[in-house]
Amino acid sequence: MAEQNAVPVEASQSLPERPKDDASAAEDGKKGPSKNELKKLAKEKAKAEKAAKIKAEEEARKKEADANDVSKADYGELPMLGSQPYTAPETKVERVSLAQLADKYSTTEPDENADIVFRAEVENARNQSAKLAFLVFRQGLSTIQAVVAASDTLSRQMVKFSGSIPSESVVLVTANVKKPFEPVKSTTIQNLEVHVKKLFIVAKADAQLPMQVADAERPIPAEGQEEQQADDGKPIVTLNTRLNNRVIDLRGKHNHAIFRIKDGITLLFQEFLRSKGFMGANTPRLLGAPSEGGASVFEVSYFATKAFLAQSPQLYKQMLIAARFERVMEVGPIFRAENSNTARHLTEFTGLDMEMAFEEDYHEVVTMLEELMLFIFNGLRERYKKESDLVRSIYQVEDFKLPEAGKVPRLHFKEGIQMLRDDGVEIGDFDDLSTPDEKRLGALVLKKYGSDFYVLDQFPLAIRPFYTMPSAETQAAYDPKNPNAGYSNSYDFFMRGQEIMSGAQRIHDAAFLEKRMREHVTPVDSKSDGLRDYVNAFRYGCPPHAGGGIGLERIVMLWLGLPNVRLASLFPRDPSRLLP
Amino acid sequence: MAEQNAVPVEASQSLPERPKDDASAAEDGKKGPSKNELKKLAKEKAKAEKAAKIKAEEEARKKEADANDVSKADYGELPMLGSQPYTAPETKVERVSLAQLADKYSTTEPDENADIVFRAEVENARNQSAKLAFLVFRQGLSTIQAVVAASDTLSRQMVKFSGSIPSESVVLVTANVKKPFEPVKSTTIQNLEVHVKKLFIVAKADAQLPMQVADAERPIPAEGQEEQQADDGKPIVTLNTRLNNRVIDLRGKHNHAIFRIKDGITLLFQEFLRSKGFMGANTPRLLGAPSEGGASVFEVSYFATKAFLAQSPQLYKQMLIAARFERVMEVGPIFRAENSNTARHLTEFTGLDMEMAFEEDYHEVVTMLEELMLFIFNGLRERYKKESDLVRSIYQVEDFKLPEAGKVPRLHFKEGIQMLRDDGVEIGDFDDLSTPDEKRLGALVLKKYGSDFYVLDQFPLAIRPFYTMPSAETQAAYDPKNPNAGYSNSYDFFMRGQEIMSGAQRIHDAAFLEKRMREHVTPVDSKSDGLRDYVNAFRYGCPPHAGGGIGLERIVMLWLGLPNVRLASLFPRDPSRLLP
């Protein structure tokens, strides 16, 4: 292979040369040329000589120009970093961040003579004239305008080079910071611009990208809307195209904001629970048997046998309570083999899980979880306002209405049903809520209590998993002919009328647990491989405990009002997507 | 099924009554009794009457005693919490923690008249006499002696009940704190004991457990050593038995310490990197194609197709760098389908991963990683001394020798080879280190530099993955006939002579990456499903970057000197273990 002969470092520095047009005429065969052919050849020879002369003159001009290029050492493409000892002109010079720059000069005047050095991406570059090029540089959420102006110390060649850098290339810049004549409208930093002195390409982007970052920064089309032009003539790129080109898509500033916020939620979750004595745990994702119902579990080839991917850390976090850890939390991937291609389902998502022993009443845990959620919401407001505002400037959504501390609406399931009935919904006492009913109830709660966040408590026993503790009144009214009647010590948390967390008190007594396993709507075998150790854990003395699991992507989606949960996953997985 | 008729709450409260002996004689058939038989019947009747009388007297005595039991309301089994409105005698009374108690009274005298209330586990209980029972209560890493002494206000019945509570039961205690006559040797809190006033069982443990927590708190037997008695006559429980009964095993105090430390490492990792601007990310575990070599990857049935479990977040964290996130970290499960049943291998472990763009030299990243590791080690020393000491009291190991900040030994691979050769090892310039060689080199480095932690830099190109950046000198000396010769910008970090982290500068140029993919010792197809998007990411302008991945369980093992990595996993997975 020809490329194997190239010195590796060159691969990034220059495109392979195109084969030169062969100027000599083709020799079709052995027979001599005709008169016409001779005439033609002479003509072509003259043409070629003329071309060669022009070319030689051009080269001489270029050589002279290069010799006269005062900026020769101040621009160009750097060799691939790591490929040779570092040779950039600004070695060991401290790099500045654009965000810090904006902060620093938000109130004071910039020092226009100080050189600053930074690495950035080129959002766009254009040659205004032979003497002037404009670029926009980006770092994270910050963009700034750059001016490259020809002068005694800056050549036209450098201006031309600068204005021709492909968008999305990574560059190393030395510049002065100045105040622009008027605020720059198209950049996030509007009261500053940089005047370029040196400009090197660190990593060159292809001239043609499969999609533009600017297009990724516009809302995804509504469901059913095809890829087409919007009213303003700009293209609307479908979600599918974006996800197929996720690396470019993720460069969108709103996407950076989304994933900063997502990380912030994890941080706030851990911060709050650690302050309450929770220990982070890592429970297995590979299970020897499907433990929570076999329907939506992924099967794994495991040497000579099979394994199954965890649908939640439920049984394991409970076993940790039985192992005396008292308060445990876990952040980790959750796998659900549900063949649902909706805007709300992923086959792999991030679970924020917690479980704790309590003293007297599982509402101790509900209260803790309410406080946790308020801590997260208020933390997002305080620490991630800029990011939230940025995303909401694209996906317009009402600000999230929060209740005061200690005043989270907590409704008995009965009360929720009654509110729906009063609103005209026909629904049975113990029916599970449909998605539209959930949204409707969310709207009713918002109207009545002024909160986008509320808790529905005491769900019907029949619609909860086997490990859920029946409520006291349900146990008192136990009827062996109808063992799943009544309510349970379980709860869902809702944001904007959509469930974000499910939780419950769990049965901590082995004999009673076995009984519930037999009597459950979908009976399970307490002696099966996947459940035996779990049930046994409660024979060894286990404190009463409750907990819950939060779908991280769902909170991100609902906090920001995103139209699709895939937008809250870096590389989303659904039944038809495993790439990239 | 009979159990279905029981009121659920009773399941935890009492064992089913045994069938009473039938006192009436058997009627064998229709024929009349013989003389002997009549005599026998009369004798039996008299015996039965006598027994009935004795029983009646006993019951009367018991009734009287119960009536006279001054402690009647102060002990017993509580109904299952959650099964009825909370009825324990100490409702809404603040619970104390034993650890706080020990802190509080470490210098001052306890207030002997103040009642304290707490939930704890019974480590053991025994009746010293009819008037005196001793128990040991436990909470987490703390144990305290409890005295139950008969008095005018505390009945012998209560003493008997207390001394008979099965070990590992969960209890609710009201007590006074006193100074013991002499320090208690068998508990962690030695200068205090509690005098019990009320004692309720919250969750009763089975009388016979499959293994004892105390046995779990002894070292695992050496490899090859069978389950048997140690010299002191106590049983040695094998690792396998412990893992089969992991919930009881995990109750061991040293296990609590191990997993607190493990969580501490994660916390310190995140704390340090967040302070340096790293963002936490969640990359997928389900991949559409095996991306890093197909040999040790688990295959998943994914609807109509197949998926593969991530062997690392390598390609994804690099794609996030290409997506402009600059500095990313991830804590998550890693899956390796290696059929290795050694003390060092798990099929599922926790990866602490990081990746960052750098400015001039990948050693910027090496330095950051060295600082990270020192931050973790020093953090463990400062914050987890008690836990480390506790584990090391069981698994005796030398304290971990740390270098000063900025003085982490960083050896060129050449230097490592030379040290081994000087020590008599026969090894080629570019050979990979065997595990014994690694340990030997660790010992040599410890001797020479006084550090259990060091970095080996510039590994041979041929033994690193395709995405590793060849070193500058290697690129300069490129020979197409031997494209994998020379060194690379890659490093391993070692603790006690065992590798804990692998990392490198990655190739950030698509054309060069494709070339390396073709020329690698094990060539890979850059156009395959699993790699196409990854390679394309570097066509869009990606900054130079490097990173690394740490095996969390391995650090825990090596920090504490554990003899088996399984001891650092809550529920370890290996080729022959998927349960519990």
B301-343 pLDDT, tens digit per residue, is 999 999 999 999 999 999 999 999 999 999 999 999 999 999 9
Residue A3 — very low, low, confident or very high, per pLDDT cuts 50/70/90? very low
Contact (CB<8Å) B579/A533 = yes
Is A94 among the catalytic positions? no
Contact (CB<8Å) A512/B80 = yes
Is A421 among the catalytic positions? no
Contact (CB<8Å) B288/A578 = yes
Q: Which residue of B has its CA nearest to A319?
A: B247
The one-character DSSP state at A488 is B
Catalytic position from the list A256, A285, A344, A410: A344
Residues A547 and A329: beta-carbon distance below 8 Å? no
In the predicted model, what is the mean pLDDT of chain A? 90
Question: A390's torsion region: left (phi>0), alpha (psi -120 to 50) or beta?
Answer: alpha
Determine the Cα–Cα distance for residues B319 and B340; give it in Å rounded to an integer. Answer: 31
| Residue A443 to chain B, least CA–CA distance (Å) | 31
| Bridging pattern class, strands B228-229 and B193-203 | unpaired
Question: Which residues of chain B are within 8 Å of residue A570 when distances are taken between CB atoms?
Answer: 281-284, 316, 320
Domains along the sequence of chain B with CATH: 98-203 (2.40.50.140), 213-251 (no CATH), 254-568 (3.30.930.10)
Q: Which token pair is B547?
A: 């990173």
ipTM of the prediction: 0.89
| Bridging pattern class, strands B286-287 and A286-287 | unpaired
pTM of the shown model: 0.89
Determine the Cα–Cα distance for residues B291 and A150; give it in Å rounded to an integer. Answer: 48
Among A298, A335, A489, beta carbon nearest to B82: A489
CB proximity list for B355: less than 8 A, separation 6 or greater: B317, B318, B320, B321, B327, B328, B329, B545, B546, B547
For the cut 60, the answer to whether the pLDDT of residue A319 exceeds it is yes
Which pLDDT score, from 0 to 100, does residue B28 have? 44
CB proximity list for B266: less than 8 A, separation 6 or greater: A280, B331, B350, B352, B552
Residues B209 and B251: beta-carbon distance below 8 Å? no
Neighbour tally for A417: CB within 10 Å: 22
For an interface test with A, the pick among B83, B93, B268, B566 (most A C-beta atoms closer than 10 Å) comes out as B83
Which pLDDT score, from 0 to 100, does residue A290 have? 86
For an interface test with A, the pick among B266, B324, B338, B576 (most A C-beta atoms closer than 10 Å) comes out as B324
Contact (CB<8Å) A281/B263 = yes
Which pLDDT score, from 0 to 100, does residue A42 have? 87
Contact (CB<8Å) A85/B121 = no
Q: Which residue of B has its CA nearest to A295?
A: B303
Q: Which residue of B has its CA nearest to A246?
A: B323
CB proximity list for A180: less than 8 A, separation 6 or greater: A145, A190, A191, A192, A193
Percent of chain A whose predicted confidence (pLDDT) is above 90: 78
Q: Which of A328, A367, A315 lies closest to A537 in space, CA to CA?
A: A315
Does B7 or B24 have the greater pLDDT score? Answer: B24
Residue B13 — very low, low, confident or very high, per pLDDT cuts 50/70/90? very low
Catalytic position from the list A123, A499, A514, A553: A499
Q: Which residue of B has its CA nearest to A284?
A: B571
Q: How many residues belong to chain B?
A: 580
Instruction: Just list the catalytic residues of B.
Output: 336, 338, 344-345, 499, 502, 554
Residues A487 and A461: beta-carbon distance below 8 Å? yes
Which pLDDT score, from 0 to 100, does residue B397 have? 84
Among B287, B536, B578, beta carbon nearest to A287: B578
Q: Which residue of B has its CA nearest to A83?
A: B472
| Bridging pattern class, strands B305-309 and B286-287 | antiparallel
Q: Which residue of A has its CA nearest to B580?
A: A533
pLDDT in tens, B410-452: 999 999 999 999 999 999 999 999 999 999 999 999 999 999 9
Q: Which of B502, B360, B510, B477 lies closest to A206 in space, CA to CA?
A: B510
Which pLDDT score, from 0 to 100, does residue B418 have? 97
Contact (CB<8Å) B140/A285 = no
DSSP bridge partners of B172: B119, B200
Contact (CB<8Å) A579/B170 = no
Q: Which token pair is B322?
A: 């290409």
Q: Which token pair is B386?
A: 């008690």
Which pLDDT score, from 0 to 100, does residue A418 have? 97
CA–centroid distance for A13 within its chain: 32
Contact (CB<8Å) A246/B319 = yes
| Bridging pattern class, strands B498-506 and B286-287 | unpaired
Type of residue found at B560: L
Which segments of B43-131 are extended strands (E)? 75-77, 115-129
Residue B383 — very low, low, confident or very high, per pLDDT cuts 50/70/90? very high
Is A496 among the catalytic positions? no
Neighbour tally for B418: CB within 10 Å: 14
Q: What angle do CA B506, A580, A80 make, to 5 degrees?
A: 25
For the cut 60, the answer to whether the pLDDT of residue A188 exceeds it is yes
Contact (CB<8Å) B91/A360 = yes
Could you give the count of Cα atoms lying within 13 Å of B154 in the half-sphere of its Cβ?
22
Residue B148 — φ and ψ, nearest 5°? -120, 105
Q: Where does residue A321 rank: exposed (0-12), middle (13-18), buried (19+ CB within 10 A)?
A: buried
For the cut 80, the answer to whether the pLDDT of residue B19 exceeds it is no
Determine the Cα–Cα distance for residues B70 and A246; give it in Å rounded to an integer. Answer: 74
For the cut 60, the answer to whether the pLDDT of residue B5 exceeds it is no
Is A299 among the catalytic positions? no
| SS3 call for A312 | coil
pLDDT in tens, A453-475: 999 999 999 999 999 999 999 99
Question: Which residues of chain B are within 8 Å of residue A323 when distances are taken between CB atoms?
Answer: 246-248, 250-251, 255
Percent of chain B whose predicted confidence (pLDDT) is above 70: 91
Which pLDDT score, from 0 to 100, does residue A2 have? 36
Contact (CB<8Å) B204/A284 = no
Is A336 among the catalytic positions? yes
| Residue A113 to chain B, least CA–CA distance (Å) | 24
Determine the Cα–Cα distance for residues B204 and A89; give it in Å rounded to an integer. Answer: 74
Any idea which of A9-23, B24-38, B49-63, B225-239 has the lowest mean pLDDT? A9-23
Q: Which residue of A has its CA nearest to B270?
A: A267
Question: Which residues of chain A are within 8 Å of residue B266 when distances are taken between CB atoms?
Answer: 280
Residues A298 and A307: beta-carbon distance below 8 Å? no
Beta carbon pairs, A and B, within 8 Å: 357
Is A554 among the catalytic positions? yes
A130-157 average pLDDT score: 96
Which pLDDT score, from 0 to 100, does residue A23 have? 39
Contact (CB<8Å) A337/B303 = yes
Contact (CB<8Å) B251/A323 = yes
Which pLDDT score, from 0 to 100, does residue B224 have? 63
Determine the Cα–Cα distance for residues A257 and A264; give it in Å rounded to an integer. Answer: 10
For the cut 80, the answer to whether the pLDDT of residue B22 exceeds it is no
Determine the Cα–Cα distance for residues A192 and A444; give it in Å rounded to an integer. Answer: 48
Q: How many Å is the maximal CA-CA distance in chain B?
A: 117
| Residue B263 to chain A, least CA–CA distance (Å) | 5
Peptide bond into B460 cis (omega under 30): no
Neighbour tally for B406: CB within 10 Å: 9
The one-character DSSP state at A114 is -
